[in-house]
Structure 1
Amino acid sequence: MRMKDTVVLVTGSAQGIGRAIAIRLAQEGARIVVEDRQHNAMAGQTLDAVRAAGSDGCVVAGDVGVAADDRAVIAHAVEAMGRLDVLVNNAGVERRASFLDVTEADYDLVMKVNLKGAFFLTQAFVQHLRDTKRGGRIVNVSSVHEELPFPHFTSYCASKGGLKMMMRNLAIELAPLGIAVNNVAPGAVGTAINHELLTNKAERDALIANIPLGRLADPVEVANAVLFLASPDASYVTGTTLFVDGGLLWHYAEQ
């Protein structure tokens, strides 16, 4: 079991990719802190699945877009579990709009959750590692759109591009502390965030035509990449993005 007795905080893990990550790491022995904006039934369901996988954990609530909440999330997780070893910055949102129609409220939401939250959660997590004189791992769930333009989702692309550069900077700055920092960048994944796409056959077929492997990803395939980067198998990997996109970046054309 590659993650035995490791304590992992997974943000946004009440559903989707975050839940898949929590369960997959639990299967490898990790103890999981399930984080979501609120204590809710879905977060409880993820914790139940973690326990069904043979591990344990807790639920911690907080709005990742608020720096004070980020510090509280780390503190509460440490209080509940005794320590943290790995942070998975998974929480993310997107808002579709033509650039000329983007509202300040939607822009702020996307940037706060996707970039500001990852920044200040990472800061609080690193302070914990420094204070306890231990190394650790940070894995950010980014997107192919840290590289790939996506018309009508400019704020989302900006947040993921920023996450890429944040990861690269921190990989260098935190290496002397024994902390590795990497991104996992999914392509098209069959989760609730893509509900409109999944229910529009024409759009779904056009997207799949751009994917050399000819299908969407299953969330567990993204979780497997996170597992690798969080595990001892990736002990010499830092400052890089692992794309999980079925080859989408090879030749994508917006329809």
Structure 2
Amino acid sequence: MPGRLQHKVAIVTGAGSGIGLESSILFAQEGANVILADINLEGAQRGAALIAERFPNVKAVASKTDVSKEADIKGVVDLAVKEFGRLDVMFNNAGIMHPEDDNALNTEERIWDLTMQINLKGVWWGSKYAILAMRENLTDEAKGLHVGGSIINTASFVALMGAATPQLAYTASKGAVLAMTRELAMVHAREGIRINSLCPGPLKTPLLMDFLNTPEKRDRRLVHLPMGRFGEAVELAKAALFLASDDSSYMTGTDFKVDGGLSSAYVTALGEPALAPPSSLI
């Protein structure tokens, strides 16, 4: 049975770990050729090697890509077109949550600027060059390929609500990603280019765990999670796969929340043990 991304070409930024790595693996499993883009080339190479071992019928290419540099993003999109002839999926996933990001009084301008450069400008450039490439796509009914493509931008639950722990630059950058995604989606909807935001809740990934570096910080987050646990990166990868695939063909401009119920909760029930993740995720 063909995979949900059979014959498609995908770029995933931040592919060396966390959501990006899990998404790259899942995209390849579903038939896509994947470029794993990350500033950490070794992490991207490990992911590409794993894909090559598990899924020999697709191709995975590692690319050292700093999303804070426009030339790097243009370069990785050009690489996809040169290597595979088209680009169908752009997952603008790379981002930072700087440990010195704090409130309005304590966050330094250099931390603000660095966060915006990566989390916001990087997504803008990724969207820009993906749109230019996707405009060149031709329909190939024999392979199930169509004009246009899917762009997925990682925002966050804090784009929709305030964070329990101060992280002003991160929150502002993700709110801007959400707003930018909506506008891009409206502008390019009739070109067959779908653009959606993925809004993760708190995840058990190095990005968040390095920030929530004390039991008190972790407990402060968990008290707001109805499911009583942090999410797993693979759970977000499965949501990204849905947005990447034709299963979401009538969706654009959405903020797709995968947050354990956090954004729907006023208070959570305390005292009950949290359910473990499904065994398929462990």
Bin of the TM-score, shorter chain as denominator length:
over 0.9
Counterpart AA for 2:48 = L
Counterpart AA for 2:42 = A
- Structure 1 position 132, deviation (Å): 3.8
Instruction: Provide the C-alpha distance between the structure 2 equivalents of 1:109 and 1:85, rounded to a whole number of angstroms.
Output: 29
- Structure 1 position 226, deviation (Å): 0.4
Counterpart AA for 1:18 = G
Counterpart AA for 2:255 = T
Which SS does the other structure have where 2:219 is aligned? helix
Which SS does the other structure have where 2:207 is aligned? helix
Percent identity among equivalent residues? 36
Instruction: Provide the C-alpha distance between the structure 2 equivalents of 1:79 and 1:21, rounded to a whole number of angstroms.
Output: 22
Aligned match of 1:183 in 175, 197, 201? 197
Between Structure 1 and Structure 2, the one with more helix by share is 1
- Structure 1 position 203, deviation (Å): 2.6
**Which residue pairs with 2:28 in the alignment?**
26
Structure 1 regions of 5+ residues with no counterpart? none
Whether the aligned pair in 1 keeps the contact of 2:86 and 2:136 (CA below 8 Å) is: no
Instruction: Provide the C-alpha distance between the structure 2 equivalents of 1:188 and 1:250, rounded to a whole number of angstroms.
Output: 14
Q: Alpha-carbon deviations, 1:27-68, whole Å to 9, x = none?
A: 111111000125x32111111222233132101222211222
| 1:40-55 matches, cutoff 5 A | 40-54=41-55, 55=58
| 1:150-189 matches, cutoff 5 A | 150=163, 151-189=165-203
| 1:219-234 matches, cutoff 5 A | 219-234=233-248
**Which residue pairs with 1:206 in the alignment?**
220
Which SS does the other structure have where 2:4 is aligned? coil
- Structure 1 position 239, deviation (Å): 0.8
Instruction: Provide the C-alpha distance between the structure 1 equivalents of 2:184 and 2:103, rounded to a whole number of angstroms.
Output: 32
Normalised to the residue count of structure 2, the TM-score between the two structures is 0.84
Compare CA radii of gyration and give the structure with the larger one: 2
Counterpart AA for 1:94 = M
| 1:1-255 matches, cutoff 5 A | 1-38=3-40, 40-54=41-55, 55-95=58-98, 96-133=101-138, 134-150=147-163, 151-196=165-210, 200-251=214-265
Q: Alpha-carbon deviations, 1:92-151, whole Å to 9, x = none?
A: 001222322222221111111111011111111111122345310001111101111125
Q: Which runs of 4+ in 1 moved over 3 A?
A: 196-199
- Structure 1 position 252, deviation (Å): 6.0
Q: CA RMSD in A?
A: 1.7
Structure 2 regions of 5+ residues with no counterpart? 139-146, 268-282
Normalised to the residue count of structure 1, the TM-score between the two structures is 0.93
Instruction: Provide the C-alpha distance between the structure 2 equivalents of 1:198 and 1:94, rounded to a whole number of angstroms.
Output: 11
Q: What count of residue pairs does the alignment treat as equivalent?
A: 252
Which SS does the other structure have where 1:220 is aligned? helix
Instruction: Provide the C-alpha distance between the structure 2 equivalents of 1:107 and 1:198, rounded to a whole number of angstroms.
Output: 19
- Structure 1 position 7, deviation (Å): 0.6
- Structure 1 position 179, deviation (Å): 0.5
Q: Alpha-carbon deviations, 1:80-102, whole Å to 9, x = none?
A: 22221110000000122232222
Counterpart AA for 1:116 = K
